[in-house]
């Protein structure tokens, strides 16, 4: 009867147990202090399509600039072709670019070096 039992149970196993090696406890990864994101420039370009008052109102509406600052930046863009509106991180700069585009104004972004 023992023979039948071993035939049915399949291949015989040796009775030795293998112990898994103990692993060293994992250390928490070193946390780096938060770093500032690299700055990006938001540049307003002059165009011949929009009136200056519309541009000024749009700059005030979309940015934290006050009326006087918006007027200065708009006038600079009008006279020189481009003016620095503000400097921020890339994601926000791209958001400003999309918002100005939706209003029909040309704004570009570039890394501030």
- DSSP E strands in 63-106: the ranges are 82-89
Pairing type for strands 82-89 and 107-111 reads unpaired
Average pLDDT, stretch 60-71?
98
For tokens 């620095």, name the residue.
84
Q: In residues, how long is the chain?
A: 113
Residue 105's φ and ψ, nearest 5 degrees, are: -110, 150
Report the range of poorest mean pLDDT among 21-25, 63-67, 93-97: 21-25
Query: Tokens for 68?
Result: 């006087």
Q: What residue ranges define each of the domains in the chain, with the CATH number in brackets? A: 37-113 (3.30.1390.10)
Q: Give me the pLDDT at residue 33, please.
A: 81
Report the range of poorest mean pLDDT among 2-11, 65-74, 86-95: 2-11
Query: Tokens for 20?
Result: 């898994």
DSSP H or E run through 6: helix 2-9
- Does the pTM exceed 0.75? no
Residue 71 has pLDDT above 90, yes or no: yes
């Amino acid at each position: 009867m023992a023979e039948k039992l071993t035939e049915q149970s399949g291949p015989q196993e040796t009775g030795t147990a293998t112990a898994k090696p103990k692993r060293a406890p994992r250390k928490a990864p070193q946390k780096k202090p938060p770093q500032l994101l690299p700055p990006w420039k938001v540049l307003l370009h002059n165009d011949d399509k929009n009136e200056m008052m519309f541009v000024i109102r749009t700059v005030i509406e979309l940015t934290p600039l006050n009326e006087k600052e918006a007027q200065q930046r708009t006038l600079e863009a009008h006279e020189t072709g481009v003016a620095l509106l503000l400097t921020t991180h890339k994601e926000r700069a791209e958001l400003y670019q999309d918002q100005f585009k939706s209003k029909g104004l040309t704004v570009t972004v570039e890394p501030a070096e």
